[in-house]
Amino acid sequence: MSPFEFVTIFCSLILGLALSHILRAVTDLYEIRDRVRTYWLNSLWVVTVTMWSVYAWWGLWQLSIDLNEWHYSQYWFLVTNLASIYFFTTLVLPKATDKGIIDLENHYYSVHQAFFSIVAFSLFTSAAVNYSLFGKAMISDMTVMPFIVGCAAMAAAFTNSKGYHKFIGVFMFIMFLFFQISDVTVIEYNI
């Protein structure tokens, strides 16, 4: 087993649990759809956090190429970043309940402070992970952009402005589309 395989098993588990949680929550709410009031912004965040989890998993591959030795502090830092993805993924949708109406707009605004605080933490630590593990320059698109967007997420944690929340939701969705489309990582199998 290579160091990369050893390290990424636990990382993959965290991201797999995040994806499992979001897919299960969507399925549970679909089953009781007659009692669910949808909200487009909440649905957009469901798609965004799903893309975020998938993209983070995909991005781990680069570590197999760029990093030949690991230190516990690096590993802990990476696990902390990935755990933040799991945490905000669990907040994006409410639990399906046996009774009553589930209003996704009310849910969104009831958890937005915790959700965006964790999103900001994830973005700030992503900038640091990109610098320390992926070897990106201190001033590069992969360090500056997550930091700037993290600041915007912190603002979302402290505002109730529906206009700002719509802006940040659309902006982050477009940002993740851009990062995925611009990714040039190729995974090859060599025998």
Q: Please check whether residue 190 lies inside any domain of the structure.
A: no
E-only strand ranges, the chain: 36-37, 102-103
Q: Where is pLDDT greater, at 145 or 142?
A: 145
User: How many domains would you assign to the chain?
Assistant: 1
| Arithmetic mean of pLDDT, 86-113 | 94
* Chain-centroid distance, C-alpha 99: 30
* Predicted confidence band of residue 88 (pLDDT cuts 50, 70, 90): very high
Rounded average pLDDT over 114-143: 83
Residue 64 lies in a domain: yes
pLDDT of residue 191: 61
Q: Place 180 in a pLDDT band, splitting at 50, 70 and 90.
A: confident
Q: Is residue 188 part of a domain?
A: no
Question: Considering the domain boundaries, does residue 189 fall inside one?
Answer: no
Evaluate if residue 132 carries a pLDDT over 80. Answer: no
DSSP, res 60: T
What DSSP letter does each residue of 5-56 carry, written as one string?
Answer: HHHHHHHHHHHHHHHHHHHHHHHHHHHTGGGEE--HHHHHHHHHHHHHHHHH
- Is residue 32 one of the residues assigned to a domain? yes
For residue 161, the enclosing domain spans 3-182
Q: Model-level pTM?
A: 0.89
